[in-house]
Chain A
């Protein structure tokens, strides 16, 4: 059984002109412990998908959602708002693109850790929180966890804040980690370290990951399986190796062609947007 099973998910936003359909019925699955990537351009619907899984968009009046989002046997779309809130930060957690702006600048890391840990266990003592936080920070290879704990986010580098975010996201042993472009706001070397760290820690914590990204290189390095999304439709999916070795959908091919290569093939030619991009989904299998 899948940990996350999305079937025929549709999303529309109500605005002055009427309804704008953003997701046209997407289906995707993530098994326990699996690393899955959802890759596409801005506006393709990848971040809203993460927000629906997290149960955030269900709370807004403007969003019309249909289809199933079954997490751990329960449909997130049909849950009571309190039940959805109880999942967040506990069984499902999220890492955002820009770590520094997603941490609260007015609280120390310690205080923010306490808040996170008490979501799972609201009676946890300050001492136990600190011990757990120290342990999580040490696991992210932070050399001086006590100093980091006493710091405010603005006193730490972007790479350090990213580690703190990862430590917080995994502190409650979530079953699913949603990672929205982790590290793209950071330097390329820090980004590579972030990915390596996430890879190691999610394995240690048995967490599954849904990685949201527009960077095919990052996806190839990190994910077991990939879904390519274009304008609210999944256009291709399959095991990472198979999909990168043989991209079959016109849109996936265009995305691949547009990536500048370090082998120096010249500035990539960009295929014009074509109606082939809306061709039916190609599946390489591999979906457990």
Chain B
């Protein structure tokens, strides 16, 4: 079933240098419980698209619907609660002056989730669900490692039980071992809770292993969309081929695949 539907979505910015078409006529469906990857370089419109979906930016044209209900730019609390964001940089995403627990609790208070007296308990549950100790709620973000902070970001987003999670480069600031653990956590959470992910990234190797479907963006346009397997075995556009060819690889099988697709680099 379609959870999120984008129809002819466009966003144009007026700048002193003229009009900038950040997103142009994008139509895309996100199916319930899937992980859809949004792929493209900086300036391709990925983040603008995410901001429109999150309600931070009003589309210039087009419509967004969530489970059949239209979403306007002015969102009710329950509409905002339904779509949550996990940001790229877990350090700047957390208020350094709040404890971890206070940051996670903010969403519960905002959306009035559960009785007030029970909310610290819900905060601890949320931390536990992402593999952090319950006591960690008393600590400051500065006392945590990058991987732990990103887990807090995930806990905070999931604590309000959203229908859709927008993940904006959630692991690109992390070391490879930490990245693997966070990707595994995200995958387990999606499978056990039936969550739906919109996974924004430019790392095609990550995409290959987490997403069943890919949408490729270039200069604000959706240039290619399809099942991950199909796109990796036969990319239709030169741009997608170039993205795959640019991935640094570590083993011979990858090198062979990359050479067969992109001609290598």
Contacts and interface: CB of A to CB of B under 8 A. Distances in A.
Interface of A: 41-42, 158, 186-192, 195-196, 214-218, 220-221, 244, 254-256, 258-270
Interface string B227-265: 011001000000000111111111101100110000001
Contacts, number: 115
A151 to B, nearest CB: 15
Contacts of A195: 248
B127 to A, nearest CB: 20
B176 A215 contact: yes
A221 to B, nearest CB: 5
B180 interface: yes
Nearest to B208: A264
Contact of A254 (B177, B179, B183, B245): B177
B41 A262 contact: no
Nearest to A196: B265
A187 B41 CA distance: 6
Interface of B: 41-42, 146, 175-181, 183-184, 187, 202-206, 208-210, 228-229, 232, 242-251, 253-254, 257-258, 265
Interface of B is mostly: helix
Contact of A189 (B146, B208, B246, B249): B246
Nearest to A220: B250
A246 to B, nearest CB: 12
Contacts of B187: 267
Contacts of B210: 267
Nearest to A41: B175
A97 B235 CA distance: 31
B250 A270 contact: no
Contact of B209 (A187, A265, A270): A265
A256 B180 CA distance: 11
B183 A267 contact: yes
Nearest to B186: A267
Nearest to A213: B248
B243 A260 contact: no
Contacts of B180: 258, 260, 267-270
B205 A260 contact: yes
A192 B248 contact: yes
Query: Which of B228, B248, B253, B258 has the most CB atoms of chain A within a 10 A radius of its CB?
Result: B248
Query: Which of A214, A220, A262, A266 has the most CB atoms of chain B within a 10 A radius of its CB?
Result: A262
Nearest to A190: B41
Given A158-B42, A188-B247, A262 B183 contact: no
A188 B177 contact: no
A188 B203 contact: yes
Contact of A218 (B181, B248, B258): B248
B175 A262 contact: no
25 contacts: A42-B175, A186-B42, A187-B42, A187-B202, A188-B41, A188-B202, A188-B247, A189-B242, A214-B175, A217-B205, A217-B249, A217-B250, A221-B249, A259-B176, A260-B179, A261-B208, A261-B249, A261-B250, A262-B249, A263-B253, A266-B209, A268-B183, A269-B180, A269-B184, A270-B177
B250 A216 contact: yes
Contacts of A270: 177, 180-181, 184
B81 to A, nearest CB: 28
Given A41-B178, A188-B243, A260-B203, 6 more contacts: A41-B177, A158-B42, A218-B248, A258-B176, A260-B180, A260-B206
Nearest to A247: B250
A268 B246 CA distance: 21
